[in-house]
Structure 1
């Protein structure tokens, strides 16, 4: 199954957030884009 993952940078926290609009409430964060995506993969 494929999911659309959105990455957003938050300048206040200096972190990246990764979330999937099709899965409300499921999100991850990291210091880099790669870390946020790695953390997202661990959710699934």
Structure 2
């Protein structure tokens, strides 16, 4: 995605919000996996 996509309407704020939600969910899942590994792989 580049600035032109935002300017010409190919990408809007809803799309950006979805991307942010995905990135937050991905980070949360990675943190949960790391915690699970710490607790269960001893």
TM-score (ref. length: structure 1): 0.35
* Structure having the larger proportion of residues in strand: 1
Relative contact order, higher structure (CA 8 A, sep 6+)? 1
TM-score (ref. length: structure 2): 0.36
